[in-house]
Structure 1
Amino acid sequence: MTSRNLLVELLVEELPPKSLKQLGNSFAELLAAGLKVQGLVTEETHVTPYASPRRLAVHMTHVAAQAADQAVAQKLMPVAVGLDTQGQATPPLLKKLESLGADASVVPQLKRVMEDKTETLFLDRTVKGALLTDGLQKALQEAIHQLPIPKVMTYQLADGWQSVNFVRPAHALVALHGAEIVPVNILGLQAGRETQGHRFEAKINPIVLHNADSYVQQLATEGAVIASFSERRAEIVRQLTAAAVQENLVAIDDDALLDEVTALVEHPNVLVGKFAPEFLQVPQECLILTMKANQKYFPLLDVHEKLANKFLLVSNIRPTDPAQVIAGNERVVRSRLADAKFFFDQDRKKTLASRVPELNKVIYHNKLGTQGLRMHFVRAIARMIGQQLGDNVLADQAYEAATLAKADLLTDMVGEFPELQGIMGRYYAQYEGLDDDIAFAIEDHYKPRFAGDELPRNPVGICVALADKLETLVDMFGIGEIPTGDKDPFALRRHALGVIRILIEKSLPLELDALIGEVADVIDNQDIKNQWADDWVDNRRKSGEKTEFVDAAHRRIPKESREQLLTFIYERLAGSLREQSYTAHEVDAVLSLNPQNLSDIPKRLAAVRAFSALPEAASLAAANKRVGNILKKTEDSINTEVNTGLLQESAEQALYQALTDLSSKTNEAFSAGNYTTSLQMLAALKSPVDIFFDHVMVNVEDDSLRNNRLALLAQLHKLMNQVADLSKLAA
């Protein structure tokens, strides 16, 4: 069959920039997959996606004009239906064969195959391979239908009667197999060989493509377009780096912004702009976010990572004199930065403390009341954690920081840029002269915001971050807002992972179960809720407003929700550990014991890994599993006290002696946190345990002997499973 390279391009109006990269890759993958199913491409086919603001395209090598014929076994019908008692074809079988282009002459060649206890007839036949025209038409329709379009547009075709749905109105379709047009159609467009170049800088419009392989070169030379998303992105990076080096500065690193800008231009041209130095008095996070979010500029930083009063812009045109382009962008950014400066100046006219009462106007959840009520809980929890981790000084600092932590939600700057919550609170706290421990805790209490984010930098921030996340988790679980499937509207999985990371990476001596219980007790504390409710009702009545959230002050946290939350956190912990370097067996062995001090878990995992490397490990793990199964089957409660007078067999006497000799040493190592040493000492038990099971019957008829041997096994089980459940390591 003839094999040539294939090009398909859909020319459209400007595509949504944040989805262009995904749309381009998906279009290529879906189209290639559709052709592969029909046998028109092979494993050798190389697929290259192209995506620019006005086009989705794909180039594929080694595409056949027609797929190879295929020998298939066509399922017909059960033998009992297709053949009569004399083995002759029945009317239903003849009708089926006729639909397949066959007749009664093929009946003797039909195969009989048993399928689910039913004998079925099959016809071996050759199916003609799909033609590229038909195959591409089908693949194109399926690809368009399956594209991950964020929001579909409905628009009218040129005939004025028909309407179609697509991400943006489409204007042209190219389909070239080598130099030949493949006569397919989609979205009311008939395939041809003409496309458009750059709106303003194309040398030739329309561009008549010679063949599938001339696409990139013709778009570049005739149309002033870099068709490849990745090549265009690389060119922007090259120009950004060169321009920044020229200014002795560094362009800010932001992959998402780079992808978005790549999706906005076809012919990138990086220029340098500047703004008045007076704007640098505004926190640089505000200026950076303003330039990135509103204008898609790349701010420039000096060697100390301080913002300079210069920025890089990526233009889509290359004028001889770029001065007017630069000046226009500088005028726009000046007004944007002026807005930021105005917000900053206005916000500083009120203290954070003066904004705290206004938190009662911010609805947190319709079942949980306002941020004002939540603040009362969080600061009480923060004080409690501060007392446990430090002293009264830390507790008081945590209380103050938690009181002010959400106040910046009411500032103009955070109202304009929600991403700056916490950050602006820190700046305003420092402006007011508050202690840096308090100021940084206000910023850090949101951390970690995402996977890999840094943790709070000081003890005050740790207390408030834990309090904020735990209050959210306990309160949300208390009203049944539990994540299901991929739905997690309140980011509870992220909050749980944040709690886990803080407890482990900061080595905090806090027990998880007790901590959740204490948080729930704070939320259930009626004195705290009464204090809030009194203030809330008084303030609302004075202003003539409704008091609908008073009921939120009377809820209690159900006991079962605490247990659900504990399970939820351990599940998140298990998933997180498995994504690291630990095996499922290692993780299960440690977490099966539900260790309450999460900061111990890395040491426990390391100990389990070291134990697993011992030659005695497999045998001891199997024995531990056997012991566990024996103890589970025992209906009566087991007394762990062993009566030495009832140890009749030498094997059970030897095991008891080994346990006696070993227990004090392993317990001492365990108490000191030397988990690896504690587990490695267990190697000495292999021989006495093996001999015990070879020579001693546990479940004998004599009750006293049986119970004594069960007590011995219970001691063994307890000693072996202090660090982890070693039975989980058994194959």
Structure 2
Amino acid sequence: MTTENLLVELFVEELPPKALKKLGESFASQLFEGLKSRGLVGADETVTSYASPRRLAVHVCNVFATAPDQEIKKKLMPVSIALGADGKPTEAFKKSAAKAGCADLIEKWPNAEDGPDQLYVANDGKADAIFLRSMAKGTSLLVGLEGALEDAMAKLPIPKVMTYQLEDGWTTVNFVRPVHGLVALHGADVVPISVLGLEAGRMTQGHRFEARVDPVALTNADCYALQMADEGAVIANFAERRAEIVRQLQAATAPLGLKPVEDDALLDEVTALVERPNVLVGKFEEAFLEVPQECLILTMKANQKYFPLLDAAGKLTNQFLIVSNISPDDASAVIGGNERVVRPRLADAKFFFDQDRKKTLESRVSGLAKVVYHNKLGTQGERSNKVELIAVGIAAMLGNEKLESAVGTAAKLAKADLLTDMVGEFPELQGTMGRYYAQHDGLSDDIAFAIEDHYKPRFAGDELPRNDVGVCVALADKLETLVGLFGIGEKPTGDKDPFALRRHALGVIRMLIERDLPLNLDALLFVAAGIRGFSEDVAGQVETFVFERLSGMLREQGYSAQEVDAVVSLKPQRLGEIPKRLAAVRAFADLPEAPALAAANKRVGNILKKAEGEMGTDVAPDRLVEAAEKALFASVNEIAPQADAAFESGDYTASLQALAALKAPVDAFFDSVMVNTDDPALKANRLALLNQLHRTMNRVADLSRLAA
């Protein structure tokens, strides 16, 4: 069967820029899946997505005009039910055949294997059954494309659906934006489908202002990108348009010796705002550079979609890049217009900065008592007090009185910038503005940086707080959040985590591990829960949650599930030790004795779980009867001190390596010693020996988790 390439385009009003990339990708993938499910295209064919502010399009290679006929096999019923003792069809079989539309084949039974529809006997894996084999006519492209297109539009990740009327004035349809044109070309031929009240054709429109031809008559499916670029002045492919913007940004800044702020989200958004980009350089008055550069950068990016320019040292300059959608011969009017527009925005930022500095952070703290944090957890003022108490408690655990004083001040002031005009306008600057205002108030850099850093790490890969003061306040802030919200039942469920508690838990984990802090997780949670007024049970729930997040994080870092389970199942409270424990487990697993010891450890654990009553580790040597148990007792007494000494010194690898010498006596013990003997005293003594062995082997990790 012959095939042709297919092009489908929806010409729409301006699409939401932050959603355009996903809309384009989804439209292409969903339409392709719809065609594939209808047999109109193979699974491995090439699909190209196009998305610009005013169009969604997709090009699919090698699409059938009519899908191949498909053989359908359907199980009707087991032979034991379908046929009577005489081998003739039963009434149940006749009814089933009639329901399946093959009643005429019953009359031919057992010679019902002639013609396009056939009844035959085959084994279904359990017993013989009667199947119906039939041929389904392939779907035509006209029918299949229309259905696939409607399905694809229905499945688009639309942020907000619009309702609008068609030209008849009566019909109402829903889509992300009003659609004004539909193209469907199979090779050079129009596929006459109809969706959203539109009939498909070959005509589309190019750039709103700069198209060389309007409308653009597409010759065939394969010339779409070329004709749109040449006649329509549109770079229709999102990725190509984005790459062109990057090229122009670099070309514009190279002569200046500057570099644009790197922001992939901004680049995607700007790509979604233009159809043919033209990068221009603008300027603003140098006086505005007195404002913190974070404020200026944010207002230029968020409000104007400009790319601020930095010098080689990363300092903001008074120049910025504009990505225009038009390319006039004289761009001075475009540049001048953008410079006039940005000036009031920068003036607002300067006004906010000047006004905010008229009040100290200290003077704003009392105002937090009027800001609701959570209706079940009180105000930001109450929360700030509790964070301060937890933070000072953490500093005390670290044994540094000077640190306690700085931590108390930083925690007290950490949320004060929420009441400033700048943060009110730009919430993204919380913490950052607190640092600037703290420095303006004459506070030390340790405290100022801690105010900025107490939100860190804010996302995967983000840097940690840069000093000990910041670490204490950041830990306190995240622990208070976790304990407080768990305490009122606001736990993450499934993929829903409205308070970002998973992120907070990972922040706690990263600080404890990467800074190798001498702090126990259970002690931290006990302090936080007590200050919040919640029970130890809440602290336990948060601890379990943290270890779950830790397990996931470690697996993402490349550790195997067995390695992670072996270490994390013991819930080591000093999280900073965990990387060393994992390294020790990995080294132990490479030993030739490791598989046998892991299996033996698992066996010991199972025996101890089934044993009744209390088990000690005190072994009575005079009750050791068998040579193998005497040998194991001697080996444990020799090896345990070595392994324990290495463990106490933090050399976990040496601690586990020492266990290799136990393989032979452990194997011999299980080969010749009956643990569950009828003699109660003998049994208890052997259980005590195994318990001693189990504790010796599992201080670094639960080695049974390494067993196959």
TM bucket by the smaller chain?
over 0.9
Q: Is the 8 A contact 2:12 2:178 kept in 1?
A: yes
- 1:91-106 superposed matches below 5 A: 92=95, 95-96=98-99, 104-105=107-108
The equivalent of 1:287 in structure 2 is: 296
Which stretch shows the higher mean deviation, 382-391 or 9-18? 382-391
1:356, CA displacement in angstroms? 0.2
Which stretch shows the higher mean deviation, 161-170 or 103-112? 103-112
SS of equivalent to 2:138:
coil
The equivalent of 2:539 in structure 1 is: 562
Q: Is the 8 A contact 1:89 1:104 kept in 2?
A: no
AA aligned opposite 1:212: A
1:392, CA displacement in angstroms? 1.3
Find out whether 1:276 has 2:285 as its counterpart.
yes
Report the TM-score, using the length of structure 2 for normalisation: 0.96
The equivalent of 2:2 in structure 1 is: 2
Q: Is the 8 A contact 2:89 2:106 kept in 1?
A: no
Q: Choose the corresponding residue for 1:369, options 351, 355, 378.
A: 378
Find out whether 1:696 has 2:679 as its counterpart.
no
1:125, CA displacement in angstroms? 2.0
For the structure 1 residues 705 and 296, does the alpha-carbon distance in structure 2 shift closer, same or farther, using more than 3 Å as the test?
A: same
In 2, Cα distance between equivalents of 1:660 and 1:73:
69
Q: Is the 8 A contact 2:376 2:488 kept in 1?
A: yes
- 1:447-486 superposed matches below 5 A: 447-486=456-495
- Cα-to-partner distance string for 1:285-310 (whole Å, 9 max, x where unaligned): 00000000000000000000000000
CA RMSD of aligned residues (A): 1.8
Q: Is the 8 A contact 1:82 1:92 kept in 2?
A: no
For the structure 1 residues 96 and 518, does the alpha-carbon distance in structure 2 shift closer, same or farther, using more than 3 Å as the test?
A: closer
- 1:206-245 superposed matches below 5 A: 206-245=215-254
The equivalent of 1:684 in structure 2 is: 661
The equivalent of 2:552 in structure 1 is: 575
1:636, CA displacement in angstroms? 1.3
- 1:336-415 superposed matches below 5 A: 336-415=345-424
Find out whether 1:590 has 2:567 as its counterpart.
yes
1:105, CA displacement in angstroms? 4.6
AA aligned opposite 1:25: E
- Cα-to-partner distance string for 1:481-535 (whole Å, 9 max, x where unaligned): 11111111111111110000000000001111111011122223xxxxxxxxxxx
For the structure 1 residues 102 and 725, does the alpha-carbon distance in structure 2 shift closer, same or farther, using more than 3 Å as the test?
A: same
The equivalent of 2:155 in structure 1 is: 146
Q: Is the 8 A contact 2:478 2:507 kept in 1?
A: yes
SS of equivalent to 1:108:
coil
SS of equivalent to 2:517:
coil
Q: Which structure 2 segments of 5+ residues have no match? A: 113-118
1:701, CA displacement in angstroms? 1.1
AA aligned opposite 1:36: K
- Cα-to-partner distance string for 1:443-479 (whole Å, 9 max, x where unaligned): 0000000000000000100110001000111111111
1:135, CA displacement in angstroms? 1.2
In 2, Cα distance between equivalents of 1:216 and 1:504:
51
Q: Which structure 1 segments of 5+ residues have no match? A: 525-556
Q: Choose the corresponding residue for 2:526, options 517, 524, 528.
A: 517
SS of equivalent to 1:427:
helix
- Cα-to-partner distance string for 1:536-575 (whole Å, 9 max, x where unaligned): xxxxxxxxxxxxxxxxxxxxx1332221111001100001
Q: Choose the corresponding residue for 1:132, options 126, 137, 141.
A: 141
Q: Choose the corresponding residue for 2:267, options 258, 279, 283.
A: 258
In 2, Cα distance between equivalents of 1:114 and 1:612:
46
In 2, Cα distance between equivalents of 1:657 and 1:323:
91
1:202, CA displacement in angstroms? 0.4
In 2, Cα distance between equivalents of 1:57 and 1:677:
62
In 1, Cα distance between equivalents of 2:706 and 2:3:
55
SS of equivalent to 1:471:
helix
For the structure 1 residues 243 and 390, does the alpha-carbon distance in structure 2 shift closer, same or farther, using more than 3 Å as the test?
A: farther
Find out whether 1:174 has 2:177 as its counterpart.
no
Q: Choose the corresponding residue for 1:672, options 646, 649, 656.
A: 649
1:702, CA displacement in angstroms? 1.2
AA aligned opposite 1:286: C
The equivalent of 2:705 in structure 1 is: 728
SS of equivalent to 1:48:
strand
In 2, Cα distance between equivalents of 1:349 and 1:327:
34
SS of equivalent to 2:245:
helix
Q: Is the 8 A contact 1:344 1:413 kept in 2?
A: yes
For the structure 1 residues 81 and 197, does the alpha-carbon distance in structure 2 shift closer, same or farther, using more than 3 Å as the test?
A: farther
AA aligned opposite 1:671: E
1:117, CA displacement in angstroms? 7.7
For the structure 1 residues 394 and 101, does the alpha-carbon distance in structure 2 shift closer, same or farther, using more than 3 Å as the test?
A: farther
Which stretch shows the higher mean deviation, 71-80 or 126-135? 71-80
For the structure 1 residues 141 and 100, does the alpha-carbon distance in structure 2 shift closer, same or farther, using more than 3 Å as the test?
A: farther
1:598, CA displacement in angstroms? 0.4
For the structure 1 residues 425 and 667, does the alpha-carbon distance in structure 2 shift closer, same or farther, using more than 3 Å as the test?
A: same
In 1, Cα distance between equivalents of 2:56 and 2:103:
39
For the structure 1 residues 106 and 56, does the alpha-carbon distance in structure 2 shift closer, same or farther, using more than 3 Å as the test?
A: farther
The equivalent of 2:50 in structure 1 is: 50
- 1:168-207 superposed matches below 5 A: 168-207=177-216
1:592, CA displacement in angstroms? 1.1
For the structure 1 residues 366 and 118, does the alpha-carbon distance in structure 2 shift closer, same or farther, using more than 3 Å as the test?
A: farther
For the structure 1 residues 513 and 179, does the alpha-carbon distance in structure 2 shift closer, same or farther, using more than 3 Å as the test?
A: same
AA aligned opposite 1:521: G
The equivalent of 1:267 in structure 2 is: 276
Q: Is the 8 A contact 1:97 1:103 kept in 2?
A: no
Which stretch shows the higher mean deviation, 562-571 or 99-108? 99-108
Q: Choose the corresponding residue for 1:714, options 691, 696, 702.
A: 691
Q: Is the 8 A contact 1:83 1:93 kept in 2?
A: no
- Cα-to-partner distance string for 1:358-401 (whole Å, 9 max, x where unaligned): 00111000001100001111111111111121421100100000
Which stretch shows the higher mean deviation, 328-337 or 641-650? 641-650
In 1, Cα distance between equivalents of 2:407 and 2:516:
19
Q: Is the 8 A contact 1:94 1:104 kept in 2?
A: no
In 1, Cα distance between equivalents of 2:243 and 2:564:
42
1:130, CA displacement in angstroms? 1.5
Find out whether 1:629 has 2:606 as its counterpart.
yes
For the structure 1 residues 391 and 607, does the alpha-carbon distance in structure 2 shift closer, same or farther, using more than 3 Å as the test?
A: same
- Cα-to-partner distance string for 1:399-440 (whole Å, 9 max, x where unaligned): 000000000000000000000000000000011111000000
1:76, CA displacement in angstroms? 4.7
Q: Is the 8 A contact 2:72 2:133 kept in 1?
A: yes
In 1, Cα distance between equivalents of 2:477 and 2:139:
61
The equivalent of 2:115 in structure 1 is: none
The equivalent of 1:302 in structure 2 is: 311
1:108, CA displacement in angstroms? 3.1
The equivalent of 1:651 in structure 2 is: 628
AA aligned opposite 1:108: N
Aligned identity (percent) is 64
SS of equivalent to 1:313:
strand
In 2, Cα distance between equivalents of 1:697 and 1:502:
49
Find out whether 1:508 has 2:505 as its counterpart.
no
In 1, Cα distance between equivalents of 2:336 and 2:81:
83
In 2, Cα distance between equivalents of 1:108 and 1:22:
55
Find out whether 1:331 has 2:353 as its counterpart.
no
SS of equivalent to 2:438:
helix
AA aligned opposite 1:240: L
The equivalent of 1:108 in structure 2 is: 111
In 2, Cα distance between equivalents of 1:81 and 1:92:
12
In 1, Cα distance between equivalents of 2:179 and 2:110:
52
For the structure 1 residues 74 and 622, does the alpha-carbon distance in structure 2 shift closer, same or farther, using more than 3 Å as the test?
A: closer
Q: Is the 8 A contact 2:76 2:97 kept in 1?
A: no
In 1, Cα distance between equivalents of 2:437 and 2:385:
21
- Cα-to-partner distance string for 1:340-366 (whole Å, 9 max, x where unaligned): 000000000000000000001110000
Report the TM-score, using the length of structure 1 for normalisation: 0.93
In 2, Cα distance between equivalents of 1:102 and 1:167:
51
In 2, Cα distance between equivalents of 1:707 and 1:99:
73
AA aligned opposite 2:615: I
